[in-house]
Amino acid sequence: MSRTNYTFNFYITSFKVAKKRASNLLENIDEELFMLPPSKNKWSIAEIMSHLIEAGISYLQQVESALKQPHEQLPKGSGPFTHSFMFELFIKIVSPANKVPIPTVASFVPKDVSVLDRQKLLKEFIIIQEAFIMLLTHAQSHSIDIGTLKTKNPVFEFINMPVSSCFAVVEAHQRRHLEQIQNIKKEFE
């Protein structure tokens, strides 16, 4: 289904790009534009960033849990990493290619807009990206096979998923919503 070459370098580069893209999108943005939903039943840019942070933290916790085991107990491999049909489909669903709205699970619902602050959201988003990069760099330097290593799905805990699929889902999901922010900015600028 997907032709993406999922490697350590792909993921590391993707999270670096997400940091830069989010910074560029939120830099010098009008506070009203940041807080105001573009239309009824749509999220504001602030809410989108809050949603990305909620999802990112959930996936980050699962990845950290899987990688904290002693290195000698972890599977060895260097990629590229592949995903099962089910996870390839899920990656596609959360990617920018899918234009159909997706219902949000309760744990990823954004915080109330009244408590959101642009600088804090951006800082938190960047910290999450740096944590993913650090985990990927660690896994790469220890030749940990993140395609074989499993962790719990943060939404459906009864489903085990490869750590590589966690990275792929987060990467695609972030691209989707950063594109959404870019489109909101274009619409109102």
2 falls in which pLDDT band (50, 70, 90)? very low
pLDDT at 3: 59
- pLDDT greater than 90 at residue 65: yes
Across the range 121-129, mean pLDDT stands at 98
What does the pLDDT look like over 148-170, one tens digit per residue? 999 999 988 899 999 999 999 99
Q: Would you say residue 31 lies in a domain?
A: no
pLDDT at 79: 87
Q: Would you say residue 37 lies in a domain?
A: no
Q: What are 11-14's contacts with CB under 8 Å, separation 24+?
A: 11/132, 11/136, 11/164, 11/167, 11/168, 11/171, 12/133, 12/136, 12/137, 12/140, 14/171, 14/175
Q: Would you say residue 115 lies in a domain?
A: yes
Q: Would you say residue 36 lies in a domain?
A: no
Q: Would you say residue 33 lies in a domain?
A: no
Total of domains in the chain: 1
pTM assigned to the model = 0.93
Q: Would you say residue 2 lies in a domain?
A: no
Q: Would you say residue 144 lies in a domain?
A: yes
Nearest C-alpha neighbor of 125 from the set 13, 19, 11, 10 = 19
Residues spanned by the domain of 81 = 8-25+44-188
What does the pLDDT look like over 180-189, one tens digit per residue? 999 999 988 7
Across the range 167-175, mean pLDDT stands at 98
